[in-house]
Amino acid sequence: MPEGDTIFRAARTLHTALAGQVVTRFETQYAQIARVHHDAPITGRTVERVTARGKHLLMAFSGVGGRQSAADDQSRRLRVDGPMVLRTHMLMSGSWHIYRTGEPWQRSPVSARIVVGTAGFVAVAFAVPVAEFVEAAAMEDAPALARLGPDVLAADFDVDRAVARLAVSTRPTVAEALLDQTAVAGIGNVYKSELLFLATLWPFTPPADVPVASWLRLLRNARTLLQANVVDPRETGVVTYRGMRRTTGRSNPAERLYVYGRQGEPCRTCGTPIQFRHHGEHNRSTYWCPTCQPAPSAAP
Ligand SMILES: [Zn+2]
């Protein structure tokens, strides 16, 4: 499952390859995107920038410029002639890859949903389930983006605003609140368990019972860990969502996480077997150490 650091890294890699380049090839299997391309071709436009916002990847294209519009369709055509942003969200399965022109793809073309080519590179969105074109001028009003909480990886990340939104989350547990992208954007399921371990918080604590100091600790660690994984030196340039995510700072692949995926294995701090539970709206997995992250003792 891609997390904020992965999307951030993907955006940076795509930006390096594509920004400032003219689009020479554009293909898609999505009707809404194909319609925009049909009305006001994406080929011939310039890729202006590729950025990440939470788990959304945003690819901005220049306007077409100088095109005459058909009188009977003028308003719609004028809009899509302007600068457009391609918004994609990977959910569980999607990934963007970047290849040099002519280089073989690592996944089957059958699962390619969007292809953006320039003279030197081809960017391919494989199995990306959520994609739409948004007018650049209206992007901040796009419902999916307007709802997002502060982005953990943003340069101007506002930790106090994120704490305020998390503290009033309607999700029943702190574990679920951390995944609520309208409270804070960028934290995914792996980091969730790791951050709760580092903050020694029982994952099923109601958000209202989490002290402010613990929220601050969770978020500062989130930013530190996600940033550390963004600058992972093993980055290959091929965008993949199966990269090695690390929270322990240890280089041994078997020791890279504290609790995630370690059900029944000894806690790295105290030796207690790590516990595991599926819970919540999407039945997500949560891992924790019952000794380091104790449940509040029952009332006498
Ligand atoms: Zn422990």
| Digit-coded pLDDT (tens) for 127-152 | 888 899 999 888 888 888 888 888 88
Catalytic residue among 48, 55, 203, 207: 55
Distance 217 CA to ligand 1 centre (A): 18
Q: Check residue 76 and give its pLDDT.
A: 52
Q: Check residue 19 and give its pLDDT.
A: 95
Residue ranges of domains in the chain: 4-146, 159-288
* Among 45-49, 97-101, 250-254, 255-259, the least confident range: 250-254
Token pair 């899509």 in the structure block, residue:
80
Distance 11 CA to ligand 1 centre (A): 36
Distance 164 CA to ligand 1 centre (A): 29
What pLDDT band is residue 69 in, cutting at 50, 70 and 90? very low
First to last CA, the chain: 41
Residue 3 annotated among the catalytic residues of the structure? yes
The string of DSSP codes covering 275-300 is EEEEETTTTEEEEE-TTTSPPPPPP-
What pLDDT band is residue 17 in, cutting at 50, 70 and 90? very high
For 8, other C-beta atoms within 10 Å of its C-beta total 25
Catalytic residue among 2, 150, 203, 207: 2
Scored b (16 or more CB within 10 A) or e, 22-53 reads ebeebbbebeebeebbebbebeebbbbebbbb
Q: Is the pLDDT of residue 61 over 50?
A: yes
Distance 9 CA to ligand 1 centre (A): 32
* pLDDT per residue as tens digits for the range 111-120: 999 999 999 9
CATH homologous superfamily of 4-146? MutM-like, N-terminal (3.20.190.10)
Mean confidence (pLDDT) of the chain: 85
- CATH placement of domain 159-288: 1.10.8.50
Q: Is the pLDDT of residue 70 over 70?
A: no
Q: Check residue 250 and give its pLDDT.
A: 77
Q: Is 64 helix (H, G, I), strand (E, B) or coil?
A: coil
Residue 2 annotated among the catalytic residues of the structure? yes
Predicted TM-score (pTM) of this structure: 0.70
Across 71-80, 117-126, 154-163, 242-251, the highest mean pLDDT is recorded for 117-126
Distance 252 CA to ligand 1 centre (A): 20
In angstroms, rounded to a whole number, what is the distance separating the alpha carbons of residues 58 and 11? 8
